Structure 1
Amino acid sequence: MGLMVKILSQSIPAELIAFGRFFFGLFAVSILVVARLVKLKFVNRPLLIFRGIVGGFAILCYFKSVSLIPLADAAVISFSYPIFGTIFAAIFLKEELKPQALLVLMIALFGMVLVADPKFRTINIGYVFALISSLCAGAAVTSVRQLRKTDDPWSISIAQMVGGIIIVSLLSFKSLSIPNPNILLLLVFASLISTIGQLLLTYAYEFCSVTVGGTISLAVVPTTVVLAIVFLGETITASFLVGSSMIFGSAIYLLNSQTEAGSKG
């Protein structure tokens, strides 16, 4: 999806891409609901609303970051959300976490600084969007972990789509317009693929912890980096490699930490 967003952002605003992602995803799921192929169950409505808001912000900010900075940078920072998800899960879901996790979080944050490679006079706002995306996504997957105890994946996903549509409409109404047919077709395709991925990830959180599910989802990052190099001609710097290693190392540590804690319990 990241590569498609980067390509689309050269022709249309990131806000419009995000709106299309939510709208066409909701349209596809609505067809299944009308055809009675899917049954919805909205139980924990306050948490569903929260999931819709933070999930919508996460995707909107990710798309904004992709449109403003190199795709590889945006992917590494935005998909570091398992770091924050693990912290949120320990606070709100009482998932066990070692005290060293705070140090690991600091290491991960420093890794993000290296990836951004700021000059400290100015910093591209795209990196700020990527960090906000990561924080919101961490909160979103934590809420999904809790919601899967009461609500089905379809209802949880619809909550994000509706929340995303509302957020984008309120914040970026002037950016919304109908693109040309070719761009529209690519936007629909990208939206459907992304929706399928979201549903699979939501379903998976019923069977694994936030740390396990989030860390497994990190597999998308190296794939995105390779695509950015091959199709966009992006270059990888030494600071990017070091920073990325720090971020991934932190995520792996948190995964092992929680796994060990779970086996002892």
Structure 2
Amino acid sequence: MTRRSGMILMLLAATCIGIQAYFVKRASEYTGAAEIAFIRFLASYLIVRAAVAAGWIEIRLVNRRLVMARGILGGIGNLLYFYAVAATRLSNAMVLLYTYPIFASLYAQWWQGKALSLRMMIILLASFAGVYLIVDPSFDRLMGGDLLGIASGMTVGGAIVSLKESRKTDSAWTIFHYFNIAGMAISLPLVIGRWTFPPAESLGPLAGVVVFSMLGQIWMTDAYRYTTTAEGSVLSMFGAVVGSVMGIWLLSEPARPGFLVGALLVVIGGIYLTAQGSEES
């Protein structure tokens, strides 16, 4: 796979993650955040084990430390995000989660001892400004869900850096497999003794969470082998565009001028990075 193909795959992953956010919001109307997270991790784990048993994929752990770091940080970050979606406005939860590219870039800079170029920093800031305009968050008062959203952004930023590094040695399926194991271990204590079977109304949204989260995570994990942390982080912001479009289309939310400007910033950033990747390949 070329660098350009990796960037395109990242855009597809971001699309799936944006769709997943919509289904998480719908599922949270009927089911608790911890239960949604546990079902999501368990279902993905069982699908991977079935694929291994059928001989379609192979799980082989090489860099245990980084793969487990990605799993633990990613599991915590996803759980915090699900709680944030349930506890505050979806727009607030989204923009606070999407602070993770800033944290990921800072973590990567520290990890590699490198500084971001001015051009990449401008693209990163412009894309984040686009995300902010899209979700139009209201911070009149800081709620617990907002704090959870900030914590999810910080944690996912670390998960992305460890994911990028672990892709140098381990396959996407291996990393995804241990991500699900860590996620189950983290969310299970929160549902033991409190578990209630999801009502029939939640089964459709829960299925959407499982399918689109799995596609998004696998494609994102694969794509990070061919993109830098900063490039992948900027491209992944396209997920906010997708989530906002679904809100307008399916939830009758208004198409504000800020949304249109923000979407343009994110899309232009993605197109620019993809074109640059093609030229430098």
Fold shared, TM-score > 0.5 on shorter chain:
yes
Distance of 2:255 and 2:35 partners within structure 1 = 29
Q: Which moved more, 1:84-93 or 1:171-180?
A: 171-180
Residue in structure 1 matched with residue 66 of structure 2 by the alignment: 47
1:199 aligns with 2:246: no
CA distance in 1, matches of 2:139, 2:179: 32
Distance 1:169 1:194, change over 3 A: same
Residue type of the alignment partner of 1:130? G
Count of aligned pairs:
249
Aligned pair partner of 1:188 in 207, 214, 225: 207
Instruction: Please tell me whether residue 12 in structure 1 is matched to residue 31 in structure 2.
Output: yes
Is 1:23 matched up with 2:42?
A: yes
Q: Superposed, which structure 2 residues align to 1:1-265 within 5 Å?
A: 1-98=20-117, 115-119=136-140, 122-234=141-253, 241=258
TM-score (norm. length: structure 1): 0.80
Distance 1:130 1:30 in 2: 31
Question: Is the deviation greater in 41-50 or in 92-101?
Answer: 92-101
Q: Deviations over 1:31-58 (max 9, x none)?
A: 0011111111101112222111110011
Cα distance in structure 2, aligned partners of 1:222 and 1:99 = 25
Counterpart CA distance in 1 for 2:137 and 2:207 is 31
Compared CA separation, residues 38 and 130, structure 1 to 2 (3 A): same
Q: Quick one: distance in 1 between partners of 2:56 and 2:117?
A: 43
Deviation at 1:212, TM superposition (A): 0.9
Q: Which amino acid aligns with 1:18?
A: A
Shift of residue 182, structure 1, vs aligned partner = 4.7
Q: How far apart, in 1, do the equivalents of 2:193 and 2:100 lie?
A: 30
Gaps of 5+ in 1: none
Code of the residue aligned with 1:220 in structure 2: it is G
RMSD of the alignment, in Å? 3.3
Mapped contact 2:80–2:149 kept (Cα < 8 A)? yes
| C-alpha separation in 2, matches of 1:180 and 1:118 | 33
* Offset of residue 224 of structure 1: 0.7
Deviation at 1:7, TM superposition (A): 0.8
Structure 2 residue runs of 5 or longer lacking an equivalent are 1-19
Q: Aligned AA for 1:203? A: D
Q: 1:183 to 1:223 in 2, by over 3 A?
A: same
1:21 and 1:191 in contact (8 A); partners too: yes
Q: Distance in 1 between matches of 2:189 and 2:112?
A: 31
- Residues 14, 60 of structure 1: 8 Å contact kept: yes
SS in 2 for 1:212: helix
- Give 1:213 shift: 1.2
Q: CA deviation at 1:77?
A: 2.3
Q: Which moved more, 1:158-167 or 1:71-80?
A: 71-80
Instruction: Return 170-179 or 69-78, whichever deviates more.
Output: 170-179
Separation (CA, whole Å) in 2 of partners of 1:36 and 1:146: 27
State the percentage of identical aligned residues. Answer: 26
Specify which structure has the bigger relative contact order, considering alpha-carbon pairs within 8 angstroms and separated by 6 or more residues. 2
**Relative to structure 1, is the Cα distance of residues 87 and 6 closer, same or farther in structure 2, using a 3 angstrom cutoff?**
same
